[in-house]
A and B are shown apart, each in its own frame.
Chain A
Amino acid sequence: MNSGVNMMRAIHITTARAGPAFSWLHLAFTALGGLVLLFIVAPLLGIYLNSAPADVLSAAKESEVQQSIWLTLWVSMAATLAFAIACIPFAYILARKDFPLKGLVSGIIDLPVIVPHSVAGIAILSIFARDTLLGDAAEWAGFEIVGTPVGIAAAMAFVSVPFLINAARDGFSAVPIRLEKVAASLGASPLRVFLTISLPLAWKSVLSGLILMWGRGMSEFGAVIIVAYHPMITPILIYERFGAYGLKYSRPVAALFMAVCLVIFILLRLLARGRKNAED
């Protein structure tokens, strides 16, 4: 009898918490999550474990490697910044206005995510190629697109621009409209409202969208290789070395490039988090 009462009490105590203290189900779920994490981390870690530090160091000293990494970083950055000028205001409109065919527009924005990247490359190549209207216009204006950093940037932007637009749109949606209304009634022009209220309050999301777009652009391979094999961005350089000389020769470059990307990515994420949350 007595132990029964105690047990009842014990049940009461445990159920009074957010949930039972221990659950086999949650343990199983966590274990599954661990497997997924391992699946992501293990191969990447393997690259480092399988490449000798001396090889990575000598790869870092090659000017071909240095140039390609530098090219990859700045072209993706340039593509991100150039598109930001158009994408951030566009994201604001998407967050604030309802218009006919808005669903279709949103779908179009997400399209690059599902289009195979080789197809994206071919698509870009076909509108910028020499005998097309745009290609001719560019050539007439004095710069070529195919096989140039401009072409690389276009290919990178095509596949990475949804990340920026979607993140910025979510950021703007979270800004209370009332704040913009109040700013307008205080005498601020629409542009001033956008620059002093909407953008600062959405900045965290916008910044994370910029980082995502940059990172996604740097890692692009499929679309870029079709538009511009040369000048060689690092993912293509890795592919070329793998094709010509095999795994052992491509691995140090891969390890190096990934390290560079990781360092920048982590720094930027810390920077974005370190920025005061706009709501504080």
Chain B
Amino acid sequence: MLRIERLSKRLGSFSMQDVSFEIERGEYFVLLGASGVGKTVLLEVIAGIMMPDAGWMFLDDRDITSERPQTRGIGIVYQDQALFPHLSVYQNIAYGLHCLRLKRSHVRERTRAMAERVGAQELLNRRPATLSGGEAQRVALARTLATGPKCLLLDEPISALDIQSKESLRSLLREINRQGQTILHVTHDYEEALSLASRIAIMEDGRIAQVGTPEQIFHAPKSQFVARFVGIKNFFAGTLEKSDENGQLCVFAAERGMRFHVLTDAKPGPGFLVFGSEDVAIGNSRPETSAKNVFPGTVLDIAPAKLGVEVSFDIGVRVSALLTQSSVSSLELTIGKSVFAQFKASAARFFPE
């Protein structure tokens, strides 16, 4: 639907080279990259606010490379919302509708409907300066959605919000996407990517390093950079099952019959389980421990890491642990040795798909 071909842009010290990817209709595409790699520039080029130095962009097979921003059919929402401070919330949402020269009654109807869609119907008479970050972001979304963009560009839309607003905005974005809105979302936060994306592209130094489903990216990072950037070695796709207790201790069923315990308040359903390799401990015998996840396994590999030693082993699936050099020596770890791996249910994190 949106096809980006060999897009290049040089701007001050930043340069973006040969960026190509394609987004399917209805997809939630997340572009993941460290802060300051020019993700905003890429979005502004796609939105037509900036001209690329080279490359092409196609929307529904129509060349939009030199199309003016107001006729592109692409909407953009910034991290800082960029609401018009001199207009009320209502006037902000209605702004794009007035540009379409719609009838006044139609504008009113559509504005109210949009406000309702994002849960901002109570805010219509407020001024942007009086809104909280989450409220402002909802209004900014409504303002852009009102113009009916074919593709919605989101520039770190939830990074600056507090935890509660983050969660509710995430589910709003999922909902908007489920209703058929194609979304291109850029972020530096892999959790955000995991919880929203149907596909992820990793951006490195102004280039696309890898494109794939969350599973492909986190499970099979193509390059050292991707692996280091996503930073998570222990990543599993599977299904969260209902907890058998009243608490929030749930069972996560992964591939090959693996069952992990995880502490979460998420609803049961498909998703991803991740835990840091620094949270995994290894022992030579079955430990007496409060940790819910204890698995026998064999050592597959021992490799020095930037900090400490990374030991990977097979417990049915491949899991990695970060140990100190002295632990490796005192445990007398060698490749092929049988060990027990353990980590706490609270160290694991679940992301619904």
Contacts and interface: CB of A to CB of B under 8 A. Distances in A.
A46 to B, nearest CB: 44
B76 A278 contact: no
A192 B48 CA distance: 17
Interface centre among B71, B95, B143 (most CB of A within 10 A): B95
A226 interface: no
Nearest to A196: B95
B46 to A, nearest CB: 10
Given A201-B85, A201-B86, A279-B85, A186 B95 contact: yes
Contacts of A89: none
Interface string B71-85: 110111010101011
B49 A187 contact: no
B76 A185 contact: yes
Interface in A35-64: none
B11 interface: no
A189 B99 CA distance: 8
B99 A192 contact: yes
Interface string A150-188: 000000000000000000000000001011011111111
Interface string A261-280: 00000000000000010111
B303 interface: no
Contacts of B71: 187
B74 A280 contact: no
B74 to A, nearest CB: 7
Interface residues of B, number: 27
B143 A186 contact: yes
A280 B129 contact: yes
Contacts, number: 69
B225 to A, nearest CB: 30
B82 A185 contact: no
A64 to B, nearest CB: 46
A178 B99 contact: no
A198 to B, nearest CB: 11
Given A188-B70, A200-B86, A280-B129, A181 B49 contact: yes
A197 B44 contact: no
A47 to B, nearest CB: 42
B70 A179 contact: no
A56 to B, nearest CB: 43
Contacts of A182: 76, 78, 82, 84
A186 B75 contact: yes
B108 interface: no
Interface residues of A, number: 21
Interface in A238-280: 276, 278-280
B100 interface: yes
B69 interface: yes
B229 to A, nearest CB: 27
B49 A188 contact: no
Given A181-B49, A184-B49, A184-B70, A280 B85 contact: yes
Given A189-B70, A279-B129, A280-B129, A183 B85 contact: no
Contact of B99 (A188, A276, A279, A280): A188
Contacts of B95: 183, 186, 188, 196
Contacts of A197: 84
A187 B147 contact: yes
B144 interface: yes
Given A185-B47, A185-B49, A279-B129, A178 B78 contact: yes
A72 B21 CA distance: 66
B112 interface: no
B134 interface: no
Contacts of B82: 176, 178-179, 181-182
A182 B153 CA distance: 12
A278 B128 CA distance: 11
B80 A178 contact: yes
Contacts of A276: 86
Nearest to A188: B99
B166 interface: no
Contacts of A185: 47-49, 69-70, 72, 74-76, 144
Interface string B28-51: 000000000000000010011100
17 contacts: A179-B84, A181-B44, A181-B47, A181-B69, A184-B48, A185-B49, A185-B70, A185-B74, A185-B144, A186-B70, A187-B71, A187-B96, A187-B100, A196-B95, A197-B84, A278-B86, A280-B129
Interface of B: 44, 47-49, 68-72, 74-76, 78, 80, 82, 84-86, 95-96, 99-100, 127, 129, 143-144, 147
Interface of A: 176, 178-179, 181-189, 192, 196-197, 200-201, 276, 278-280
User: 8 nearest interchain CB pairs?
Assistant: A186-B96, A187-B99, A187-B70, A181-B49, A184-B69, A278-B86, A182-B82, A178-B82
